[in-house]
Structure formats: C-alpha cells, structure tokens
Amino acid sequence: MLHIGNYSFESRLLLGTGKYEDAQTQREAVIASKTNVLTFALSRIDLDNIGPDPIEHLPREEFTLLPNTAGAKTADEAVRLARLARSSGICDMIKVEVIGDPPTLLPNPVETLKATEILLNEGFTVLPYLSDDPMLAKEAEALGAHAIMPGASPIGSGLGIVNPYNLQLIIEQSKVPVIVDAGIGAPHDACEAMQYGADGILLNSAVAKATDPVKMANAMRLAILAGREGYEAGRIPKSNVATASSPQENWANS
Amino acid sequence: MNIIINQKNHNLPDSISSIQELRRHFNLLATNVMIEHNGVALTADQQGQIQLESGDKIEIVRFVGGG
C-alpha cells in the first residue's frame, strides 16, 4: 500500500490524463493501469465554446483526484490554482508544479517551496514536484510535504533516470513517500526507480504517447510491481569480479 | 454591468447579480466549473452568497487533462 497523508492506495502508479489521442483509448489505458490516482490540470473555460466536459469519459468518483498547478509561474499563482481546485469540493490533494522556462520546463524550486509552505498551512495534502536535488527534497520534507516528487528527467522527455545517484540519495534520506514524477520513458525506467526503493511513479506521456497506450499502461503497471517486489526482496550487492554459480571442478584430462 | 471574466470584459444585463445567474447566462448550470471571485476561490455554498458588482473579476475554470 502507498500511504500519502491520510490517503492509502493499492496501486503505486499515479497516472496523468493529458496528451491522449482520444477519449476511448484514455479510458481503456486508465483501466489497464489499475491506478487509483489520476492527475488533472485546471484551465479557463472558453465561454464562446464550452463544449463537453474534457474529462467526462473518466469515472472520476472511482479515483482520487490529484490536480496540479500547471501554468503557475509563481508561488502565488500556484496557491490560487490549488484553492480553485479544492473549491470543487472533490479533492484536497495538490501537486505543486511551478514550472520555469522551455526548453527544460524544470520546476522553480524557490517558488515551489513557497507555495508548498502556504498550502500546508491551509490544510492541503501537498506533493511538490521538484528537481532531483537531495537538498530540495530535504527542505520540502522539513516544511511538512506529504510526499516528494523528484523528476527523473524533464517532463515529456522520456529520457528516464538521468541521475540515479541523486535519485537514490533522495529515496534513502526521505521519511515521506518519494514519487518519481516526469521523464519516465519505458517500463524499465519505472522498474529501475521502484527497485531503488521509490514509493510510486507518476507518469503521463510514456503511456499517452505510446504506440499502444493501453498495452503500455499494463506494462507500466507490471514494471512497477516488479520493481517494488525486487526492492522488497533485496538485490545482491554489485561486485567487480565473478562469483561462480556452478561447481568449478577440474575436468581437464590429466 | 461590466464584469471581467477570464480576463475579458463582459457587459452583462443588470439583472445578473449572483453567481447562479451568471452561470445560467453562460449556460454553465450543468457544467462542472470552479469559480474565483475577486481572487477568492468559492465553494458551492459560497457561490450562493456573492452579490456581483460592476468591475468584479471572475475566473471560471474546469479540470482538463494534465500530468
């Protein structure tokens, strides 16, 4: 079970809802992933073209919603978006996301931590999206963040874990759950993070933009299960020399 | 009455004085939206207590796909 604040989830996969080609594929991918948590963004409604609810095809009541503060460039904007999300009355978790500039879209750590502190004081369950910096993770944890969400690599890049050293430091030091968020490209990336001891994975593009998103959703589910099992099982230490697995008797003719 | 909605000026009939009437005017009664009034996010209960005034700033947002 994954525990974040007062919430408990069977699945350690948190799934984003952006970038899908069509609603039906998305629905099937969400089901295949067996996720319990769906992330959403907030957007101003176009009063001249209201159209259908962009997420009406997802049975929202079956999931815990994790809105993000995407679009915010400052702590104040992130706080506004978080309050708007909570005013819906259907969620009090928030992924604090204060994004810097292209091409990296890396989070702005100063504004992210500011917003985290304000929202914690207002009783939100706060999950800050941060760079994979152990000191930032420590600061967020000290503020009282309910989970730390370090990026594996830039959003949507699919580069996987570019700094396994930093990521492992964050996982080892953190007393709150570590959810690796952003940059996961393939199932082995998710599995690797889980093998290190991450508590969960948040991903979106890797499933939404896969050739077969439904199949990839299931692959990610399995990879995360495998990584978690591997972590709990305890891997062998690495060695620079071989250790034989079979008897080494001498069969040379003498 | 002039109301700024989602950063655009809207000249609305003076008969619109509540959030409920505003939602009806824009055909949003059956749509899941979240509303901010002069910088304050409103719960459903709070929406019923607001008296709109000229110059008010409203943001109307909804959940969309995101990661």
Q: Which two structure tokens, joined as six digits, stand for A231?
A: 């972590």
What letter would DSSP give residue A89?
S
Burial B32-49 (b: 16+ CB within 10 A, else e): ebbbbbeeebbeeeebee
Query: Greater confidence, B23 or B30?
Result: B23
Could you tell me which residues of A are annotated as the binding site for 1-deoxy-D-xylulose 5-phosphate? 156, 182-183, 204-205
Say if residue B11's pLDDT is above 80.
yes
Say if residue A54's pLDDT is above 90.
no
Chain A residues touching B35 at Cβ < 8 A: 87
The dihedral region occupied by A146, where left means phi > 0, alpha psi between -120 and 50, and beta the remainder, is alpha
Q: How many CB pairs under 8 A join A and B?
A: 105
A18 within 8 A of A107, measured Cβ to Cβ:
no
What letter would DSSP give residue A202?
E
Q: Which two structure tokens, joined as six digits, stand for A244?
A: 């034989």
Domain count, chain B: 1
Q: What digits encode the pLDDT tens for the residues A83-125?
A: 999 999 988 999 999 998 889 999 999 999 999 999 999 999 9
What letter would DSSP give residue A93?
E
Q: Can you give the pLDDT at residue A197?
A: 98
Looking at the domain assignment, is residue B11 inside a domain?
yes
Looking at the domain assignment, is residue B58 inside a domain?
yes
B35 within 8 A of A87, measured Cβ to Cβ:
yes
Q: Can you give the pLDDT at residue B31?
A: 84
Sign of CA dihedral A23, A24, A29, A31: positive
Residue A78: pLDDT band (50, 70, 90) is very high
Looking at the domain assignment, is residue B23 inside a domain?
yes
A239 within 8 A of A32, measured Cβ to Cβ:
no
Chain B residues touching A80 at Cβ < 8 A: 36, 39, 41
Q: Can you give the pLDDT at residue A59?
A: 85
* Strand blocks (E) in chain A: 2-4, 7-9, 13-15, 37-44, 64-67, 93-96, 125-130, 149-150, 179-181, 200-203
A108 and chain B in contact, CB less than 8 A = no
What letter would DSSP give residue A60?
G
A13 within 8 A of A200, measured Cβ to Cβ:
yes
Q: CATH number, domain at B52?
A: 3.10.20.30
Looking at the domain assignment, is residue B15 inside a domain?
yes
State residue A167 phi and psi, 5-degree precision. Answer: -60, -40
Helix A213-233 with A187-196: angle, nearest 10 deg: 20
Looking at the domain assignment, is residue B7 inside a domain?
yes
Looking at the domain assignment, is residue B26 inside a domain?
yes
Looking at the domain assignment, is residue B67 inside a domain?
no
Looking at the domain assignment, is residue B44 inside a domain?
yes
Q: What digits encode the pLDDT tens for the residues A177-187?
A: 999 999 999 99
Say if residue A254's pLDDT is above 80.
no
**Among A156, A218, A204, which Cα is nearest to A16's?**
A204
Please tell me the distance from the alpha carbon of residue B52 to that of residue B21, in angstroms, as a whole number.
10
Could you tell me which residues of A are annotated as the binding site? 156, 182-183, 204-205
Share of chain A above pLDDT 70, in %: 100
Asked if A84 lies within 8 A of B64 by C-beta distance, the reply is: no
Q: How far apart are the first and last CA of chain B?
A: 38
Q: Can you give the pLDDT at residue B40?
A: 95
Catalytic residues of A: 95
Chain B residues touching A85 at Cβ < 8 A: 34, 63
Query: Greater confidence, A54 or B18?
Result: B18
Domain span at residue B38 reads 2-62
Burial class (CB in 10 A: 0-12, 13-18, 19+), A174: buried
